[in-house]
Structure formats: structure tokens, C-alpha cells
A and B are shown apart, each in its own frame.
Chain A
Amino acid sequence: MSVVLVLAALLAGTYVVAVLEGWASTGRLRPAGPLVSGLALLGRESLVPRKPDRIFFEVAPPLLLVAAVLAAAVLPLAPGLIVTDLATGALFVNASFAYVMVAVLMAGWGPDGAYAMVGGFRFLGQLVAYSMLVVMPITAVAMRAESLLTTEVVTSQVSLWNALYQPLGFALFFLAAMAIAFLPPFDLPIAPGELAEGVLAEYTGWRLGVMRFGRALLVLTLALAVTVFYLGGWFGPVLPPWAWTALKTLAVAAVMLSVGRYVPRLREADVLAWGWKYGIPLALVNIFYVGVVLLVAM
């Protein structure tokens, strides 16, 4: 039963994220937008490029979807409302996000086009930059919770949200989350101006619909992960827990979607350099800091 509820909540959340995405890019709020676009996409032809690597071309969109769903499956929406409360939940979230990269790589190689290829390999470079910055803040979060259970991570924040307890980790994880979802300014694989939509360039019709849906779901899942790990999950006065999770998640998603409009796209060399030269030392400092605070507070 909770599985059905969670999936329904994810579906609703993805729809709202798609509306937010439309609003962020055009400035107009169109509540029926995703529905109309989805129907229109279903009605379009789905063209296959002339000589694709067929397996990769077909598998990439569903894999993107599956990776996002798997990550969402271990994140709690409210006390008791979780698909599966894995004992290694926090780590599993990271594992499933790694398959996002595999999906984008397949989408880059599959269609046999120069733009998609450059986009796919750029994303791999981006992964090398952000992957540490996902795991290390999660480590610090797990340290405070003294468990990898995502529900424990939420309950450990009852006194103070992790965003305030470990702000450095919060900032790093937020940026890394934007990079996983390849949102601007980390949208190297898509790069609308430079690569004519890069990895998405060759997808049309219902396949494009699946890719877009998968990406919106990914944004939602990442926002949910940020909420669970850093913003105290379902805690909050007055409203029921699931409402707080929803509000926080959608707020995070809105910020993620709109920040990129005001900054130029980051060069891949810069992303790699900053990720390794500044990001990782800062993440280590964060772990050290959290460790010290935990020991002192005991």
C-alpha cells in the first residue's frame, strides 16, 4: 500500500517539477503544460537514427527512469511512508545515481551522432568531478545519524537541520545534485546552444517523452534526497509530515531549476578543476568538522 502511495506521490511530484521547469525557462506558469507536451510527444513519430547502437539507444531512456525511481524508493516521505527502508539506504541512493551516468553515456554513444557523443563523454568528465562530492557529504550526514538508514538520518535532525549543522556539506551536496541532473550551469551533456541538445538531440516522439520524464523524476528525487539528508525531511510545525516533505522538496527543486538561468555554463575543465582542487578538500574539512562537533557534543 505504501508503495502505491509513494509512486503516486512521485508521479505528482514529477508533474509539478515539469511545470516548474517550464516556468523557469519561459517565465510563464502553465499548469497543463507537461500534460499537453506529453500528449503531443506521444503523437509524434519516434525516429531512429540511421545507424544507431540499437541496444544503447533503446535502453538509455528507461535506465534513466529506473535509476531515479530506485533512488526514490529508499527515501522516506513521512514516517513509515517509504518503499523499502534499506539498512544501507544512504549508500544505495548514491549507487542508483551512478546509473544515471551510465544511462547518459548510453544515450551519448547510442545515436551515432557527433553532438550526442561529445555530450555523453562530457558528462563522464562531469561525473569524475562530482561523484566524490556526493559521497563525502553523505558520509558526514551518516556520521551524525550513526546509521545509514534514511529514516534515522531524518530523525537525527530533530533538534537541528543538517543544513545548519553542516552547511559546507549542504552546499557541496546541493551543487553535486545539480550536476547529477545536468541542470544549468552544469548542463554540459545537453548544452542547448553549443551542442544542439547534445545527448537528447536524436530522441524524438515517445522516447524523448521518456527521457524528459526521467529527467524531471531525477530532479525530484535529487531534491528529495537533499530534503531528507539536510533539511530535516518531514519535520515541521502545524502541517502533516508528508506536506512538509512535499513543500521542502518542491522548494529545493525550484531553486535548482532557476539558479542556472543567471550564470553562464561552466566549462568542463573548470568543473573538474574546482571539483577536485576545492570541492574534495572542503568535503574532507566538512567530515573532520562534523567529527569534531560530534565528539565535543557527546
Chain B
Amino acid sequence: MTIPLSGSREARPFPLRRLAAWAAARDLAAFIVPGPDVARTCGIDLDAAGVRVAQTPRHAGVLVLVGELPRGLKKAAAVAYAQMPRPRAILAVGAGDVSPLPEPDVWVTASQRELAAGVEELRRLFAEGAFATEAAGFDIEEIRMETEYVCPMHPEVTSDEPGSCPKCGMDLIPRESAGGAGHEGHDDAGHGDTDHDASDPGVLVSHEGHGSNDEMDYQDMGHEGGGEDSGGHEHAERGEHEGHDEMDHGGHEDMGFMSMVEMTQGTPRSSDGLQMEWTGAPFGPLFPGLPGGLSLTFTLDGDTVANVTAPRGALGWDLDGLETAPARDFPDLLALLDPLSPTAYRLLALQALEDAANTVADERTTLERVGALERERAASHLGWFSGFGRLLGYSWLEARAGQIQLALLRAADAEEVARQETEVGKLVRRVYRTPMLARRLKGLGTLPDTAETSGPVARAAGLAKDARSGGIYRTLDFEPVVREGNDAVARLWTRLAEVEQSLKLVRKAGAVCFPQGMLTSPLRSTGSATVETPRGAATLRVKLQGDVVSATELTTPSSLHHQFIGAVAEEREVADALLGVASLDLSPWGVAR
């Protein structure tokens, strides 16, 4: 008999359990991979389908996979799945092969109607299969840990056996690191239990306990984990100090005892003046406050971020076939690059190919392209507002911006888009009037003046850089939106103004659907184009051999801004650091290459 649910809980289905199963079916909570931003861009609304969105896999029962996932994200999703308490299930929305995860319980394409049907199917599966007499276990490489023994005062002393440190005589304490065999179970586990708290690149960190290898983290600064990090931690928090110049030792003269004061003497002090132990904590790639797929590791000094490591290409996203694609497939392939703004990249490819063919699209096509691009820009900014609102704890913005974004993306023509203009206007005015918002964001995410930026980030610094200036945009009376401040507040105001501007442009252009380009045979072997994507200017250079693309060179705004994560996050409190990073509006997909 096949198990109806991939993640059933092993128990005999007694009547009370059947009731719990029915309840679980009615009360579905989903954890979305790579994130709600991608889900909305694909046009699906889980809330409307009756499913709650959970912030952490531990509070979720359904893992929702949206779109094609790169290899690194699939691994992260597998770890998130391992963290979900059973009964659990997987819902795949337009996703391809999802190994190492188990087979999804329900497959749907990215349309709201199919999603609703899929959710009903999921409910049925839960009601039937939440408890099963035989449940499958789930074991992956990343959540197995191996134990080694290390001295708490001398992290370089390690051994595979318990014993004492040759330097100070203290007992070695066990420390676990990823990769190996040796894991513990926990209560309420079913057969084949591997559902322990995994050290995961996604959401939660598991450490080997309080107090062990803190020194390791502060001495060994290159300690990146990208996630598989089990840093020890103990912190203390704060009071309202601004700094100590001298600290009293309080009379500890016993041998072998070192106070925190002595241990942290001479180390650099964090911005709030408090001297504390340093701990590495991963924030990403499935962290709710960051764009889905962005993987950061913060080294926390108390609750201040002392150091950020942001590996590029952590997603393992390689677009096969991009470099030997026939020219007519090339735009579609490039559109797959960034699920958050496919239209912009499709347009980029088309324009680069048209440049190689030395042709220019006629005015009507260009206008239609403008309409489509601007609609995407407005939708992208609204999606950013929603994520930013979630990070800020501003639930109304999170909900409203998401709704308008979905309405915009589902609009069939310019008329429907025009109807959203009043709603957007109301949202913009309400955000301007929000108490304490400007105060909260002031001074966060500032970049040095010499920083080379693009898109809304540059325009928020007073630079009138916009790849749209000129050409057909001049006939539409386009002026770039420029604000002063170069911080998170300025970027917020910039994007708010840009949403309204984009909707006006859509109205003037009169069309929102992307026209299919007709490509003639290229006359030259190279072509290049620049398009103002919602996040900034992206430039593409293609080399052609006949009808086939032989080489591409792509610069995306997110890869430009990625280097500023450190500048924006370091020496700031965790929440401020996250807000600063979010204000850059990075697309992790644009960074991976």
C-alpha cells in the first residue's frame, strides 16, 4: 500500500489522530522556496488559496517549491524539509526535478486555479495520510554530523576521542561538524528518524552548545560556513552602555580562570562599545527577511554584525546552453535567468540581437515593449515593498503591496493596469504618512559616495543615472526620479515615486503584453544592449557565429551591488543590517553568474 503523504508521521491512525489529521488538513502552513517574492512574481497567491505562509520551516507543514531551482537551493530546501515537523508534504509549482527532496506530493503549474486545485488535493492527502503505520524517513548528507572533541580555551586542539587538553588540562568537549555519520534522535520521532535540528544553510542554526568554540570564531575570521557552520555562541546582551574604557576584573585571581574581559582585551570593539564574543550565524539562503536565495553569514558580536561573508554563486545556478543557443531561443533562455524580472532580460536579449542585426524595432513594438517593461518594474517594486514591509514588521504594507503586485501581474491589458493606479496612489500616500518609518530607516544602508551603483540605489544618491533616458522615453516625457540621501529612506521614496511613474508610462504606452520579436539574420558578429531592469542597468554583449550565440558577457546590477553588502551591514545591529541589505534590492539570481 503506498503511503499517501511523503512525510507522514509514524503512528497508528486512532480516531483522535484522525481528528488531528483532519485539523492538519484544514490548517495548512507553507514554507516557500525560494521565497514569497518569487511566488508572487509567478502569479500565485497562497493566501487566497487558503494556505498560511510560515516564517520558518518548523512552523510549516507544506514545502512549496516555485519554479526551477538551482542546485544549491535544492539542497537548502532539502534541509528545510528535514526541519519540518511531520506530517509534512511537498507541493511543486512549476518545478522540475527536485532531488534530493522526495517526490512532491502534488504537482501544479503556476496558475492560481491549478494552485487552488492542488491545495484541495493536498488537504485530501493530509486528511488521509497524516498518520501512517509505516512512514518514510528522510536522510541527507547535510544533516549528518560528526563529533570531534575540542578544548574550549584552545580551539586548535582537536581530537577524535574524549580526553584532556595538553595545554591547559581542561576536558575536551564534544563538538559536531557537518558531514559524517553520527546523529541523535529526539522524542516523538518515527521510524528512521533523522528529523533533528539540522545545521542548515537555510533558516536555523544548530550549535553544539553554549560556550564552546567562541574563540575559534573570533580568531579564525575566515570561518565562513555558507551554512554548514556550527559556531558556538553565547552572548550576552546589552544594556544601554556606550562603551567602557576600563573594566574591573572583580577579583578573579584563580589560575586557569579567565574572565571575558581578559579574553576580549585588545580585540576590536563593535560600534555600540560592548565587548562580546563573536559568533557566526547564517542568514539565508531561505531567510524570511532577505530575498529568497541570498545566502549571508553574519558574525555577530552580541547583536551587532561584526563581519559579513556573502559568497557569490552559492546557488549553483548555471544556465546550460546559454552559450551555444540558436539566436531565436536566446531571449527565452535569458528570461529564465532572473525569475524576478524575466521581461527585462528578454528585452535585453532581443535588443542585443537586434543590435547585432543592425535593425531597430518599429515604434509600435517599442511602445509595447516599454509598456511591458514598466509594468514589470512597478510589480517588482511592489514586491520589494512587500518584502521590506515584512522585514520592518509593517504588516499592512506587506499585505497590501503584495495584493497590488499580483493584480498588476495578472492584468491582461493596459486598462486593468490603469485601474490599479488609484490603489497605488493610496498606498504611496499612506507609506509617506506612516509614523516613525522615516526615523526607523534614516541612515541605514548608506554607501560611500564613491561607490559605483546603478538603478534606484544610484538615483537615491542624487545621481540621475537611468538607461531609459533618451530614445522613445523622451517622447513619453520621461524624467528619472532622483532623491537625495543615499540611505534606505531615500531608496524607499525613490521606488515609491518610480512605481507611480511606471504606471503612468504604461498608460501612455497603451499596452502591457510583450510582443514577440521577429529576428532577421544578424549581419554582424557582435551586438550589445543596455536595459534598465527594475534593479538597475543591465548590459549584455553577445558574439554570434552565424545563427548561433557563441559567447555572452552580462553585467547585472545585483552583481554590482553585491559587493556593498559588507559596507551596508557591518558594524550595525542585526535588524539594521538586514534592512540595509534589503534596501539594495538584490536579486540573488543576478549574482550567481
Q: A interface vs B, CB < 8 Å?
A: 25-27, 33, 35-40, 42-51, 53, 109, 112-115, 117-118, 121-122, 124-125, 128, 184-185, 187, 191-197, 200-205, 208, 260-270, 272-273, 276
Contacts and interface: CB of A to CB of B under 8 A. Distances in A.
B308 to A, nearest CB: 15
A279 B347 CA distance: 56
Given A45-B189, A118-B303, A194-B391, A201 B208 contact: no
A194 B395 contact: no
25 contacts: A38-B23, A39-B24, A40-B20, A43-B131, A44-B87, A46-B188, A51-B206, A51-B208, A112-B209, A113-B197, A113-B204, A117-B235, A121-B235, A124-B237, A125-B237, A128-B239, A187-B393, A192-B393, A193-B288, A194-B391, A202-B58, A261-B396, A263-B434, A264-B434, A266-B436
Contacts of A40: 20, 23-24, 26-27, 61
A202 B204 contact: yes
Interface string B417-456: 0000000000000000011110110000000000000000
B17 interface: yes
A36, A39, A124, A184: residue with the most chain B Cβ atoms closer than 10 Å = A39
A43 B390 contact: no
B508 interface: no
B85 A46 contact: yes
Interface string B14-52: 000101111110110000000000000000000100001
B249 interface: no
A185 B188 CA distance: 35
A273 to B, nearest CB: 8
A194 B195 contact: no
A241 B411 CA distance: 54
Contacts of B186: 47-48, 50
Contact of A47 (B195, B288, B289, B575): B195
Do most interface residues of chain A lie in helix, strand or loop, or is the interface mixed?
helix
Interface of B: 9, 17, 19-24, 26-27, 47, 52, 55-56, 58-59, 61, 85-87, 130-131, 176, 184, 186-189, 195-197, 203-210, 233-240, 279, 281, 287-289, 300, 303, 390-396, 399, 434-437, 439-440, 573-576, 578
A69 B107 CA distance: 46
Given A39-B27, A43-B130, A121-B303, 13 more contacts: A36-B27, A39-B19, A43-B9, A43-B17, A45-B195, A47-B85, A118-B237, A121-B238, A205-B188, A263-B436, A265-B575, A267-B440, A268-B573
Contacts of A122: 237, 303
A27 B55 contact: no
Nearest to A264: B392
A45 B9 contact: yes
A263 B440 CA distance: 10
Given A43-B24, A187-B393, A192 B288 contact: yes
Contacts of B289: 193-194, 196
Contacts of B209: 51, 112
A272 B188 CA distance: 41
Nearest to B52: A26
A196 B56 CA distance: 6
Contact of B394 (A202, A205, A264): A264
Contacts of B234: 117
Contacts of A33: 27
A174 to B, nearest CB: 16
Contacts of B233: 114, 117
Nearest to A262: B396
Contacts of B188: 45-47, 205
Residue picked from A43, A191, A266, most chain B C-beta under 10 Å: A43
Contacts of B434: 262-264
Contacts of A53: 210
A263 B55 contact: no
B575 A194 contact: yes
Contact of B58 (A47, A184, A265): A47
A36 B87 contact: no
B197 A50 contact: yes
Contacts of A197: 55-56, 58-59
B55 A196 contact: yes
A205 B87 CA distance: 11
A114 B205 contact: yes
* 3 nearest CB pairs, A to B: A43-B20, A121-B237, A265-B393
Given A47-B196, A112-B210, A201-B204, A272 B240 contact: yes
Nearest to A123: B237
Contacts of A45: 9, 85-86, 188-189, 195
A191 B436 CA distance: 17
B392 A193 contact: yes
Contacts of B9: 43-45
B154 to A, nearest CB: 21
Contacts of A184: 393, 395
Given A47-B58, A128-B239, A194-B574, A36 B23 contact: yes
A281 B289 CA distance: 36
A263 B279 CA distance: 31
Contacts of B24: 39-40, 43-44
A44 B393 contact: no
Q: Which of A37, A48, A50, A267 has the most CB of B within 10 A?
A: A50
A51 B23 CA distance: 31
Given A43-B130, A194-B575, A263 B394 contact: yes
A262 B435 CA distance: 9
Contact of A260 (B23, B26, B395): B395
B184 A191 contact: no
Contacts of A262: 394, 396, 434
Contacts of A51: 206-209
B238 A125 contact: yes
A128 B239 CA distance: 9
A51 B234 CA distance: 13
A260 B85 contact: no
